[in-house]
Amino acid sequence: MNFSQTRIAVFGGRQISDNIYQKAYKLGGLFAKEGYLVYCGGGKGVMEAVSKGVSESGGTCVGILKGLMLDEMNDFIKVPVATNMGISRNALLAYNCDVAVAISGKYGTLSEISYALQLEKPIIGLHSWKMNEFRNVDEPNEVIKFIKENT
C-alpha cells in the first residue's frame, strides 16, 4: 500500500436505487484507476457498489465497520477495520480522508457529512443532500474532477 495515496472517504446509504448503485460502482472503478485509497463503512448499498467498483478495477477499499464481526462487511472490502463503535465510527471516516464524497444517503450520511464539514475537508455530493456548504453533481467523472482540483 502506498501511504502517499490520496485518501477518499465515501459516505452513503444502505438502501439505494439501481441508478445510484450503478453510478457508485462506476465511481469506484474511477477511484481505482486514479490510484486513490478508498474508505467506506464496509456494508451494503453505496458502500458495496463503490467497493465493488474499486476491487474489480484493482484498487483498495478499507471498510470501517460498525461492529466487531466481519459478517456485516460486503465481499469487496480488501482491508476491514472492526471498530465496535456503532455509528460513532462515522468520525473515523471523516478523519481518515483527504476528500469526502457523499452519495445519496439519509441521516447516517448526513452525520458523516457534518464531521467532514467540521474538519474542513473538501466534500462533494453525488445525488446527495442539498446544502450550501458543498456542491452536488450528477456524474462520477465530475467527482473525479473535483478531487483533482482539491488535492
Domain tally, the chain: 1
Residues of the chain with confidence (pLDDT) below 70: 1-3
Residue position matching grid coordinates 502506498: 2
Domain that holds residue 17: 7-148
Establish if 2 belongs to a structural domain.
no
For residue range 55-87, what is the model confidence (pLDDT) as tens digits? 999 999 999 999 998 999 999 999 999 999 999
DSSP tag of 6 = P
Q: Looking at residue 3, what is its pLDDT?
A: 64
DSSP readout, 82-115? Answer: E---GGGGHHHHHHT-SEEEEES--HHHHHHHHH
The reply to whether 130 falls in a domain is yes
Question: CA nearest 36: which of 10, 73, 66?
Answer: 10
pTM beyond 0.85: the answer is yes
CB 35 within 8 A of CB 65: no
